[in-house]
Structure 1
Amino acid sequence: MRRPSLFSVTALSAMLAWHPMPASAEPVARTATPIEHVIVIVGENHSFDNLFATYKPKHGQTVRNLLSEGIVNADGTPGPNFGKAAQWQASDTDVYRLDPTKTQPYATLPQPNTTYANGQPPCVPDQRFPANLPNGPFQNTKYVPYDSYTGDPVHRFFQMWQQVDKGQHDLFTWVAQTVGIGGQNVPPTTPADTYQGGVQMGFYNMHTGDVPYFKKLAREYAISDNYHQAIMGGTGANFISIGTAGDAAFYNTNGTPTMPPANQIENPDPMPGTNNFYKQDGYAGGSYVNCADPTQPGVSAIMNDLNTQPNKPFNGGNCAADTYYLVNNYGPGYNPDGTPAPLGPTHFTLPPQTM
């Protein structure tokens, strides 16, 4: 995981937060609630518990995190309910499942990987961390300084749905080890070849001084432990959702939804002979989903789960027919000079969008 930072304030947020009024204009009417401005701060590639695991709210407020659940203590050590966060291994060899058959818990977490951490050798076990971490959340800053970089946990659409395991939250490590970021559709020889290890179980200890700016914002303004992101998956699709309240899709030059190149359509069904390594995934292949078609790989598993929830999906999922939506990261649709970026099987860029 990269060091927490103030990553971005969206253009929408900036517009809401700063709206100069001409000197001659009438005073703006007061809002119906005390909320007058909304500023969205995006800390990329970090989960709520990764940053707020040990956050203690003000008197009269509550929060649900690793500390309040007794999973860790305020000093970052395992808490009385540490076992609730134990990670399991599983088996999935035919079709994509949100809750594959679990086989056994990890005896210890696999050693976290460096992935793309600045200042570290890339994609190797991170020697700063023990190779036998207890099976559960661990405090990053017990092993590395707060201002140093650690590995980047997988954050892609189908992986994250599967990691949650229908609310059990016990397949983060297994999914990371079996498929990782998709490996550009090259299956791993060993679990280490997905370059993840146990990196996704690390957290920062806000109670002992980590992440001070986010703590300050939470105490002075507002915090939500019920909402983390609009779309399971990467930054690109989520930025678009924040700014448009929708999702990007693949359009032709006339602005009509059309099918993207075949190698850019997600297929999370396991490759033959592998345990859960997706057939079509990765930053250079597999990022669009036709979510209106339940026969598409992975779609029925997610829609069936959503339809069992107390709050049903809006408009049955709100997916337009024959439309392939972006669920991961892609390049922008325009070059710096304003010309459209090239499209095609070897170009992983988002087409211009119809809003």
Structure 2
Amino acid sequence: MAESQERIDNGRRRLLKTAGAAAAGVVAAPWLAPLAKAAGTEPLSGLRDRIDHIIVIYQENRSFDHYFGTYRNPNGYPVANLLDTAGKIDRRFDGLQKDPAGVAYGVLPVPLDIPAFDSASLPNKPFHLAPYIPAGDNVPWDPAHHFFRMYEQVNSGKMDRFVGLAQTRHVADIEAQIRRMPKAGTAAHHEAVVKLLMAASKPSGAVLGHYRREDIPEYHALADEYTLFDHFFQAMSGGSTGNALYLAAARSCQWSQAPAKLEGQLDPPILDKPYDRHGILINDLPPLLGPTEAWYGALKISPPPDEQRFANIGDLLSHAGQDWAWYAEGWDKVKPWALKTAFGPDDGSAVVQSDLIYNPHHNPFQYFPRWPGYVRGGHMRDVADFRADTRDGKLPPVSFIKASAAHDEHPENSAPAIGMHWVMDRLKELAASPAWHRSLVLITYDEGGGFWDHVAPPRPDAYGCGTRIPALMVGPYVRRGYVDSHVADTTSVLRLIERRFGLPSLTARDAHAYDLLGALDFAQRPREAMFL
């Protein structure tokens, strides 16, 4: 055990030292029927000949500026960060955040429930967060990041309402006021509604805080040694469940019979209900197939599995004869509930109090009616299985790795440095195996978590994109110390997988997504891992 820890510590020092200086065919399965368009025919010889494994490490709730706002590339590649040419925080961000009246805050409102901010007087501009919330501290706070709220935080690209809409309060009482307001649909009406929402919210300047290289050194070191994407966005506005579904299927769930009271019916539909007016799931709800959460009120309104007949990336891979796995930390502890349902009789109930062990609403495959087949087929595995599979030469062509709440970097349950070390452990396990030489790893996040970012997200459709998020590509053929500034989002992960394995696209979103191939250089000699 001591020898293993010494090896990890030596690898960490080495990394920091180095970095600091199925084509179209017969579609048999019914859920694949709508997928008529096959993958493109452009030759991708490097990807297809030299990469056998694509691994996605999917963390939680951090924006790009929150982690890389002060990052400078050692090779001189430009980065869309917060810095001016002198390396200081750019003054164009001074006074950016506005209060409900549209007036710039003079001093940032501070969170009352975080003692370190008690005597703080922070000007209205981005600031270093570590003196108040160290990167290794798990502090009980969680900025708001619901679907419509995030749109209003973005404010048509002005990015100036993150502080004012940082925390939720009970806002249901403003619904009646909104319904009584005249001239619905006009710009003036929209602004009046937003002012009501902001007045009913709790502002917090903490969302303007960012971490520096010294706070999360290994993430910055990975950017130095491999490739950082600086225009990578969460696919869907809002929170975890929708974006996890976009990672798997390039769309969210639906409930065609969702009661109107559960849908955002106002104009603008600014109050965050579970569904939009089309019955599309836009905020977090637990799955009905087990293991699921003891969140009984939410379970009664969760999307029915039978309506999720569309394909996901697992279906495409299986249809093409390619294995895949979702490696979830804590899976072995909740697996006994995996073939049960939320409202099953007697011991058939899938509800389990998983606490920090396993988060069902983070696993997109649990929302599909084919879930029992995924479980029986061995596609659901524990992170301990990832260690064994890499060691034993059994790593599947596509892997998704999901930490438990204790390690996923989600505020309130985890911390940046804790998650960073957990991610590095997974990379070390891969790098110590023969699979490393034919692998490609993408480290990214489900969503920005309500933390401010200064780059306005694109709007490919009514559901996305949301905040810019960190994304790193690591592997023996990844360009060294490169910054890829192509516009990308969560569905780019699907596009990369589809291109590698000759799969059709799932929706228009992944069909038109950037495939991330600009980060690869197959002319270079394959590199050994820089963190062993």
TM-align CA RMSD: 3.6
**Aligned counterpart in structure 2 of residue 347 of structure 1, from 300, 309, 331:** 300
**Aligned counterpart in structure 2 of residue 264 of structure 1, from 254, 262, 265:** 262
| 1:162 counterpart residue number | 152
Give runs of aligned pairs for residues 24-39 of structure 1, distance below 5 A.
30-31=46-47, 37-39=53-55
What CA distance in whole angstroms lies between the structure 2 residues aligned with 1:140 and 1:268? 37
| 2:106 counterpart residue number | 107
Give runs of aligned pairs for residues 114-125 of structure 1, distance below 5 A.
124-125=112-113
1:145 is the counterpart of 2:134: yes
Give the secondary-structure state (helix, strand or coil) at the position aligned to 2:228: coil
Quick one: structure 1 residues 125 and 40, their matched pair in 2 at CA, closer, same or farther if it must change by over 3 Å? same
What CA distance in whole angstroms lies between the structure 2 residues aligned with 1:132 and 1:341? 41
Deviation readout 1:41-71 (Å, 9 max, x if unpaired): 333111110111111123142210112577x
For normalisation by structure 1, the TM-score amounts to 0.58
Deviation readout 1:12-35 (Å, 9 max, x if unpaired): xxxxxxxxxxxxxxxxx7536977
Contact 1:111 1:197 in 2 (8 A): yes
Deviation readout 1:220-272 (Å, 9 max, x if unpaired): 3322111121011101100110111222111xxxxxxx1312332125658xx
What CA distance in whole angstroms lies between the structure 1 residues aligned with 2:51 and 2:298? 46
1:332 is the counterpart of 2:291: no
| 2:381 counterpart residue number | none
What CA distance in whole angstroms lies between the structure 2 residues aligned with 1:345 and 1:148? 30
**Aligned counterpart in structure 2 of residue 229 of structure 1, from 225, 234, 242:** 234
Quick one: structure 1 residues 40 and 62, their matched pair in 2 at CA, closer, same or farther if it must change by over 3 Å? farther
1:53 is the counterpart of 2:69: yes
What CA distance in whole angstroms lies between the structure 1 residues aligned with 2:153 and 2:96? 13
What CA distance in whole angstroms lies between the structure 2 residues aligned with 1:36 and 1:85? 49
**Greater RCO between the two (CA within 8 Å, min separation 6)?**
2
What CA distance in whole angstroms lies between the structure 1 residues aligned with 2:46 and 2:64? 33
Quick one: structure 1 residues 31 and 205, their matched pair in 2 at CA, closer, same or farther if it must change by over 3 Å? closer
Contact 2:149 2:270 in 1 (8 A): no
**Aligned counterpart in structure 1 of residue 217 of structure 2, from 192, 212, 228:** 212
Give runs of aligned pairs for residues 1-355 of structure 1, distance below 5 A.
30-31=46-47, 37-68=53-84, 73=88, 79-81=89-91, 83-84=93-94, 86-91=96-101, 102=102, 104-112=103-111, 124-129=112-117, 130-150=119-139, 151-176=141-166, 180-181=167-168, 183=170, 185-186=172-173, 194-206=201-213, 209-250=214-255, 258-267=256-265, 280-281=271-272, 286-290=273-277, 323-336=278-291, 347-352=300-305, 353-355=308-310
Deviation readout 1:129-169 (Å, 9 max, x if unpaired): 14421111121112233211342211111111111122221
Contact 2:96 2:160 in 1 (8 A): yes
What CA distance in whole angstroms lies between the structure 2 residues aligned with 1:169 and 1:53? 15
Quick one: structure 1 residues 231 and 279, their matched pair in 2 at CA, closer, same or farther if it must change by over 3 Å? closer
Q: Which has the larger radius of gyration?
A: 2
Question: Offset at 1:212?
Answer: 2.3
Give the secondary-structure state (helix, strand or coil) at the position aligned to 1:40: strand
What CA distance in whole angstroms lies between the structure 2 residues aligned with 1:279 and 1:63? 33
Question: Offset at 1:186?
Answer: 5.0
Quick one: structure 1 residues 205 and 345, their matched pair in 2 at CA, closer, same or farther if it must change by over 3 Å? closer
Give the secondary-structure state (helix, strand or coil) at the position aligned to 1:141: coil
| 1:121 counterpart residue number | none
- Unpaired stretches in structure 2, ≥5 consecutive residues: 1-44, 176-195, 311-532
What CA distance in whole angstroms lies between the structure 1 residues aligned with 2:264 and 2:61? 21
- Unpaired stretches in structure 1, ≥5 consecutive residues: 1-28, 74-78, 92-101, 113-123, 251-257, 271-277, 291-322
Quick one: structure 1 residues 63 and 342, their matched pair in 2 at CA, closer, same or farther if it must change by over 3 Å? closer
Counterpart code for 2:282: V
Deviation readout 1:306-345 (Å, 9 max, x if unpaired): xxxxxxxxxxxxxxxxx421122111131229xx999988
For normalisation by structure 2, the TM-score amounts to 0.40
Contact 2:98 2:160 in 1 (8 A): yes
Contact 1:109 1:134 in 2 (8 A): yes
Contact 1:52 1:65 in 2 (8 A): yes
Counterpart code for 2:83: L
Contact 2:165 2:202 in 1 (8 A): no
Contact 2:148 2:271 in 1 (8 A): no
Counterpart code for 2:143: P
Q: Write 1 or 2 for the structure with the bigger share of helix.
A: 2
| 2:178 counterpart residue number | none
What CA distance in whole angstroms lies between the structure 2 residues aligned with 1:143 and 1:344? 36
Contact 1:265 1:280 in 2 (8 A): no
Give the secondary-structure state (helix, strand or coil) at the position aligned to 2:99: strand
Question: Offset at 1:190?
Answer: 11
Contact 2:162 2:207 in 1 (8 A): yes
Deviation readout 1:262-301 (Å, 9 max, x if unpaired): 332125658xxxxxxx7742xxxx12113xxxxxxxxxxx
Identity of aligned residues (%): 31
What CA distance in whole angstroms lies between the structure 2 residues aligned with 1:346 and 1:31? 42
Counterpart code for 1:216: A
What CA distance in whole angstroms lies between the structure 1 residues aligned with 2:266 and 2:162? 16
Contact 1:109 1:131 in 2 (8 A): no
Give the secondary-structure state (helix, strand or coil) at the position aligned to 1:288: coil
Question: Offset at 1:200?
Answer: 1.4
Question: Offset at 1:348?
Answer: 4.2
Give the secondary-structure state (helix, strand or coil) at the position aligned to 2:233: coil
What CA distance in whole angstroms lies between the structure 2 residues aligned with 1:59 and 1:246? 37
What CA distance in whole angstroms lies between the structure 1 residues aligned with 2:172 and 2:135? 34
